[in-house]
Structure 1
């Protein structure tokens, strides 16, 4: 049995789906928890989720029993508190406007069945709402106010409220949802845990290339994981796993952060965790953090509209300006004179109220030390691109030129470089980080700390090879085993 459908009466759910067992709510609430295996998926299709109702208690006790309810109790509460427009991010709002454009009425009701809509043009909006509020049956009401559509209400819909004309579609959506490849399967004897690896196949510069992902998968399976690669459309399935490994470039205003938040809330072991994403994604935070921990960095200035005239005096020329959430050498600009400085600062302050300014300290290469749980794991020297001051030179046509690299055994890295890298990583957290540093003889300075560091086949793994992937997967195992030991 891979899942359990819980209903108020057996007649509420006529479908017979392989691997799915149907049980009444009262049978579920009164059974001895040991009757069912731990970590089973519970699909709560009760007629009401109101506070202290039967449906409410099914999701509540499922969480207490280490079962995995859909919806979980947090989603039920979120739906009770959902108010427009505060619950919607810009991505969902854009979908609302495009999906509901050209409707003749000022109101519209959208039913969502296991993430699908009976109306084809609303498929993307239905999936987005399900990802935001993972519940099997949802109903959203929209109103056209002023010149745009807004959500008037959103909440679970009871089985008895599904229109007769929708029943066949709802049943088919349920079949697809229950039998899809990424649904939890009966674990083989050799598998102890489920691991999701979040990727984006369309990403031009992912943090791990295809061969590295295969090696992560192999290392995980060797350690007892059942592995599924998921994408941003699988937000509603996060709770079905024991651990989440994000191998898509992370950002705060982005689905990767929402995945990390949901995974952490569901009790998964997650890398990158949301705290690490928040901290490492913003160079303003990192600058202050390094100062507070007395970790050396290039001379740094927080620039705002009130101190622009002081930049040249403080940093001199050339100096480097950084957009706070810059990545992969983008949003990082070297300015050589006052005219360039004024132009670039003006543009950067249009996007952020604070930007970073640093003294320009050229080196032939930057160190990158990978640190996992406070222990240095791998080390690379990334050399500057030819005739350029950065490791990557981006062309106007979207192309790029990268400097060459070499990978060293950790023992071959100067002790000061290792020590400063570990200090910087520990200041951010206890997960997986890539610390970039510059070395000037006996002086080492931190450039930045990256969550979600690149781990590519043929680059970072040149020394440790398959051992690198295994050590990262062993981190997940240690965390999961510690979680089991700490459970009452």
Structure 2
């Protein structure tokens, strides 16, 4: 299934910015095409509703309503339209926005009311940029008008109103801003161009260019995009600031260090709520990022791990005579060997644990197992994808050695063909990964004379060109991309919710009734509850 953008306006002249007739349609044409579109449309469209009004039962309202029923992704949604109409439901969102109102010290004291326009979260004034971005994130309306008022006797500002903006009210002097915002939102230039077939899937890859230890470096992400292009998949690298644009993509691949109290989890939750395939999903992040959960999960399923104890401030003293040193202490939600320390005796144990209790109420204590390398088995959808040996840093007991100033040193990565991996390592990794889900995981294991032990399961494992992919090459990326593509295409166009619709006798355009009649005849699986009160 492919995807495409459609802009809906009440009159074609309302969209004055470019000759884009192939993608700009009138509201009546959009509503009237219900019958032909429902007969066999395989393309899930992304609809931008720029009607003049979204009033209840207006053409703008029906465009969003019918788009949702057809399985299109529409901005704004009916829920957003209703939120904009009802001030009471806005209160929580308005309160969040008011915390972002700047001082606006350049505004004269004689001015008590201000209005400004926001296009897809963009505004020229950098002082209002955070407010504009958050407003679009909360209300998801393409064109917004925000009104501020200065309460009498107070220095600060309050939000007096947030509403949709008629596209005809976009001032010509702001055309460049509008077009730039539209192009960023759709990732397309709105100008005459040859019609090209849409990609099979639009994939967003979330990354952080400033991360010193990313799961994949920039060269790898660019290589993934090249492989994706050969598979007719469009890739865009996105960052934290692109949260409001997430729904314009078909799938999400997180290549940033994840945590539950972090924007990566927010992205994963949003993608899942929108029905988008996502690696990795919120449940996998939740399960993998907490070592306490993993330790208990593996123990419950009789999967061998180093002996693990959970320690709190109250229970720390009782471990004085029960531990065999050295031991390894871990903050449960640490990553990349951060917050992992080794204690040689009880005094060190106390000092390290006391420091860690400032971050977490619980600390993990595990028996120390020395091996020259850790096995890393990359798992995808419950099956082994690649294998590697992660060697310890020279003269250090970990595969990553953190030094001052945020710098680090990593041990050597040695890719290994899956048939050359000891069968028990593969079997143990597979059992462990399947407890988490069907995403993309990296299972770390130690192989000793006593057996194979799972150290942890990572939800966004390292994958870099020339390292983990050295045996399989591009096949690693094709399988990952194919996994997401299969999920996307298997999902198909959403059927949509059953929507109760009240149509008053004074608001029945012939095109709307014709559309409903067509839907009733051609799409018997859909139910329309129409009241003529």
Asked if the contact 2:71–2:493 (Cα under 8 Å) also holds between the matched residues in 1, the reply is no
Q: 1:293–1:139: structure 2 CA closer, same or farther, 3 Å change rule?
A: farther
Which of the residues 114, 118, 129 maps onto 1:123? 129
Please say if 1:343 is aligned against 2:347.
Answer: no
**What is the aligned partner in structure 1 of residue 176 from structure 2?**
172
Please say if 1:59 is aligned against 2:64.
Answer: yes
**What is the aligned partner in structure 1 of residue 522 from structure 2?**
none
Give distance in 1, aligned partners of 2:98 and 2:345.
42
Bigger shift: residues 10-19 or 438-447: 10-19
Q: Which has the higher contact order (CA 8 A, sep 6+)?
A: 2
Q: 1:127–1:350: structure 2 CA closer, same or farther, 3 Å change rule?
A: same
Asked if the contact 2:224–2:477 (Cα under 8 Å) also holds between the matched residues in 1, the reply is yes
**What is the aligned partner in structure 2 of residue 331 from structure 1?**
339
Counterpart mapping for 1:88-487 below 5 A: 96=100, 99-100=102-103, 111-138=117-144, 155-159=162-166, 167-168=171-172, 171-180=175-184, 183-184=187-188, 188-189=196-197, 191-484=199-492
The alpha carbon displacement at 1:436 in A equals: 0.7
Secondary structure, aligned partner of 1:327? coil
The structure with the largest alpha-carbon Rg is 2
The alpha carbon displacement at 1:301 in A equals: 1.9
Give distance in 1, aligned partners of 2:418 and 2:436.
21
The alpha carbon displacement at 1:139 in A equals: 5.1
Question: For 1:129-160, what per-residue CA distance to the aligned partner results, in whole angstroms no more than 9, with x for missing partners?
Answer: 43454321345677999x99898688542328
Give distance in 1, aligned partners of 2:42 and 2:187.
16
The alpha carbon displacement at 1:269 in A equals: 1.6
Asked if the contact 2:298–2:304 (Cα under 8 Å) also holds between the matched residues in 1, the reply is yes
Measured on the aligned residues, the alpha-carbon RMSD in Å equals 3.6
The alpha carbon displacement at 1:448 in A equals: 0.9
Asked if the contact 2:120–2:182 (Cα under 8 Å) also holds between the matched residues in 1, the reply is no
The alpha carbon displacement at 1:259 in A equals: 2.0
Q: 1:184–1:448: structure 2 CA closer, same or farther, 3 Å change rule?
A: farther
**What is the aligned partner in structure 2 of residue 6 from structure 1?**
8
**What is the aligned partner in structure 1 of residue 49 from structure 2?**
44
Secondary structure, aligned partner of 2:358? helix
Q: Give the unaligned 5+ runs of structure 2.
A: 496-524, 526-533
**What is the aligned partner in structure 1 of residue 511 from structure 2?**
none
Bigger shift: residues 123-132 or 202-211: 123-132
**What is the aligned partner in structure 2 of residue 32 from structure 1?**
34
Secondary structure, aligned partner of 1:351? coil
Secondary structure, aligned partner of 1:302? strand
Give distance in 1, aligned partners of 2:21 and 2:455.
52
- Number of residues paired by the alignment? 479
Give distance in 1, aligned partners of 2:341 and 2:113.
48
Q: 1:172–1:449: structure 2 CA closer, same or farther, 3 Å change rule?
A: same
**What is the aligned partner in structure 1 of residue 500 from structure 2?**
none
Question: For 1:51-95, what per-residue CA distance to the aligned partner results, in whole angstroms no more than 9, with x for missing partners?
Answer: 76654443332233232211234655777745448985xxx998x
Q: Give the unaligned 5+ runs of structure 1.
A: none
